[in-house]
Chain A
């Protein structure tokens, strides 16, 4: 057992699975010698060689399309994009091809691919390095969208994503890459996809979140605890397809629901969750549900980004508002 960071957990999971399955091919820009811009693929080239760890030309649509061709022919590509802001040239390949191959061929062919990308603000990066547009992918039938929030989740969910027979967009919160260490057993055990994780039990309010915002949400909860407010935190983990049942059960218990995401408010995944809460458990609600989200703006450059990201204070204020209803 070792204490590792989230990005080390990614590398560990990749190495474990590549050793177990020779059909796994890691590809992307700078993933070989350089080990990826965040070093997520560090050491893999030395361990597995140049036919399994491919430094590709700099062309994202190509990475996406090449992976589609590989996957259809029985390989399991794990494609890295350097940042979510650079995945857009590959959207066509991901949405129009990877996500549709099984359906297009009535199950004759399929596309087991993992598209990995770091995402999110808060790392003082240049423009296009802070995007959090997971909703684009969550809107797409045929994809899974998985977002880990800790080293152990990164390890277990990445293994599950690689083993999944369908395409997975695996978004790694760059703000958490080296934020904390956690003991992770390198035992090859995957965590389940398509389920939410309840991080702590509570009675008064359900806080639904994912990725890097788990950090602020946990911190806010500690402060609320001192005021005697007990929050239940749900880490959604797989935002598509969404395990709404776990969320609804929690909201039925607490009667209050807040969704916290750093992605822009409008048409974010929070809108989907709140709408299902309204449709399905409205009569359990003691207060109108709320979203605490990024603004509908372009993620500002480093100097303003902390005002963009939902803060502990914004979360606590929202909880206070909801607690006023009895």
Chain B
């Protein structure tokens, strides 16, 4: 018998559960301004998330997927990206998207059932929210191919959940990215659950990161509650992607501190005390305590931030609630570049409905 290959999966954590810094931490760990910025964004995302759940409960928003407890993953990835990089998000990505210029009111618009929530900015090159789980890492690989073909100095980030890694498309994306050496970083937000199905039912593999090994590139595991690790490792992966067209897989280990969506009830499947146990590791308090130890944060600053986030959220909720509806005809407006003649009759029927609606 001879061994023809071995592999290892590295685990990265810089700020531990007691908000203590681990020795080989990167410069970001000492860049207080940058950390304050990360902290503020995480708090804003958490405030917005709480508000979105409340809006859903009062019938003002459709089904909504909470991001509670997973802020470090999305906020850290968003901060790590250059403006020129391309994001291929999934539905839980609010924290990334708001750093890509998407307005919070637009995110509400999407979950409120209005396609304009997917427009992002008119000139945005990021991909839209997309619901079929696991299909979008392939889009990221295709986009990365286009970048490589055009010799552009940018990379693509795709984010998905742990459940998505069971999809064939997820593996097909990694495989082709490895073969073609594409500038793409695959991020897994491993929040331990795919609706009711726990991570260990998705795969018998010890880590999700090691899925990259079979595709011929590096996968690493990162403490997804440690925003320093999330941000730093994503920055490094993006550098390699841009400069050397090395794809990389980043498994961010975190926990979903809410039902899967507002339509779900996690008490049916989640072990009773588990969420409480996991909350000890949650990312926002972890960074806050660290900043306090550095004398960069205190109760007064916290209170001021709380007030300003609440105000910001109030403004965007008002914006969302006042959005004028799309015309009915928009159903047809974006099917094709120009509406084929075959659609004309149905289009007229709809326009008549519209006239009756307003007339």
Binding site for B on A (CB under 8 A): 25, 51, 54, 56-57, 59, 61-62, 64-75, 77, 89, 92-93, 96-97, 101-110, 141-142, 144, 164-166, 194, 241-245
Contact = CB atoms under 8 A, between A and B. Distances in A.
29 contacts: A56-B176, A59-B176, A64-B138, A65-B135, A65-B137, A65-B141, A66-B138, A68-B138, A68-B142, A69-B139, A70-B142, A73-B86, A96-B132, A97-B130, A102-B335, A102-B337, A103-B115, A103-B334, A103-B335, A104-B118, A106-B119, A106-B330, A106-B333, A108-B120, A108-B124, A141-B335, A241-B341, A241-B342, A245-B341
Interface in B122-136: 122, 124-125, 127-128, 130, 132, 135-136
Interface in B231-288: none
A16 B287 CA distance: 59
In this complex, which of B136, B140, B179, B336 has the most chain A Cβ atoms within 10 angstroms of its Cβ? B336
B168 A61 contact: yes
Contacts, number: 148
Nearest to B167: A61
A66 B141 contact: yes
B175 interface: yes
Nearest to B179: A57
Nearest to B140: A69
Contact of B340 (A61, A65, A89, A194): A194
A51 B181 CA distance: 12
B173 A65 contact: yes
Contact of A75 (B130, B146, B156): B146
The binding surface of chain A is classed by DSSP as: mixed
Contacts of A243: 341-342
A141 B132 CA distance: 17
Contact of A166 (B115, B130, B337): B337
Contacts of B336: 102, 142, 144, 165-166
B337 A59 contact: no
Contacts of B169: 61-62, 65, 92-93
A59 B335 contact: no
Given A25-B149, A96-B135, A102-B337, A65 B122 contact: no
B144 interface: yes
B141 A69 contact: yes
Nearest to B127: A72
A44 B337 CA distance: 29
Nearest to A56: B176
Contacts of A109: 127-128
Contacts of A108: 118-120, 122, 124, 128
Contact of B125 (A54, A73, A110): A73
Interface of B: 86, 88, 115-116, 118-120, 122, 124-125, 127-128, 130, 132, 135-147, 149-150, 156, 168-169, 172-173, 175-176, 179-180, 330, 333-337, 340-343
Nearest to A66: B142
B176 A66 contact: yes
A103 B341 CA distance: 18
Contacts of B343: 241
Contacts of A64: 138
Contact of B172 (A62, A102, A106, A245): A62
Nearest to B326: A106
A105 B130 CA distance: 10
Nearest to A25: B149
A72 B342 CA distance: 26
Contacts of B342: 194, 241-244
A274 B94 CA distance: 48
A48 to B, nearest CB: 12
Given A73-B125, A102-B336, 18 more contacts: A61-B138, A65-B141, A65-B172, A69-B139, A69-B143, A69-B146, A70-B142, A70-B145, A73-B143, A89-B168, A92-B169, A93-B135, A97-B139, A105-B120, A144-B336, A241-B340, A244-B342, A245-B341
Contact of A106 (B116, B149, B175): B116
Contacts of A56: 176
Contacts of B118: 104-106, 108
A239 to B, nearest CB: 10
B133 to A, nearest CB: 11
Nearest to B138: A65
In this complex, which of B127, B142, B146 has the most chain A Cβ atoms within 10 angstroms of its Cβ? B142
A66 B137 CA distance: 9
Given A107-B334, A241-B341, A51 B142 contact: no
B346 to A, nearest CB: 10
A70 B184 CA distance: 13
B184 to A, nearest CB: 9
